């Protein structure tokens, strides 16, 4: 009967070591989370649906409370490429664990014609919006 108790005691220690090792590896793997990119691609088109090359695209935050006139840190601009696309990376704006990124206004201009839209950025996602210049 004592032999049985010794074997049982050894099994419990082995099971305990395996369990501790499993939990430690789980925490280690979960701690290696790599943040994905938070991107925005703005597609600029004319009224007939053709891509517009060379349009200036501005992406910025507008304050909803005008009594507090703090400068907002989101204010980017870029020129569209040959496919009518302007790409923005918001990795510096979005911090891991943050819920949502921002609600922004995107505005495109070319030769005095403009178009704009509102963009709700989703974290760690390739966001897209379309602007029609008129």
Work out whether strand 126-132 and strand 39-45 pair parallel, antiparallel, or are unpaired. parallel
This prediction has a pTM of 0.69
**Pick from 45, 44, 25: nearest CA to 87:** 44
What is the mean pLDDT of the segment spanning 62-72? 61
Contact 44, 86 (CB under 8 A): yes
- In this prediction, residue 37 has a pLDDT band, given cuts at 50, 70 and 90, of confident
The pLDDT of residue 36: 83
Work out whether strand 102-110 and strand 75-79 pair parallel, antiparallel, or are unpaired. unpaired
**Pick from 134, 92, 131, 87: nearest CA to 108:** 131
* Top mean-pLDDT range of 6-10, 12-16, 38-42, 119-123: 38-42
């Amino acid at each position: 009967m004592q032999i049985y108790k010794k074997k049982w005691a050894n099994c419990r220690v082995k099971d305990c070591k395996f369990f501790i090792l499993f939990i430690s590896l789980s925490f280690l793997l979960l701690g290696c989370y790599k943040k994905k990119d938070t991107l925005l691609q703005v597609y600029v088109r004319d009224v007939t649906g053709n891509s517009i090359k060379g349009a200036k695209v501005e992406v910025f935050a507008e304050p909803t409370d005008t009594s507090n006139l703090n400068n907002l840190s989101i204010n980017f601009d870029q020129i569209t490429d040959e496919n009518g696309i302007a790409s923005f990376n918001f990795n510096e704006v979005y911090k891991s664990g943050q819920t949502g990124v921002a609600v922004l206004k995107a505005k495109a201009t070319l030769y005095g014609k403009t178009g704009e839209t509102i963009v709700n950025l989703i974290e760690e996602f390739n966001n897209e919006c379309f602007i029609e210049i008129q």
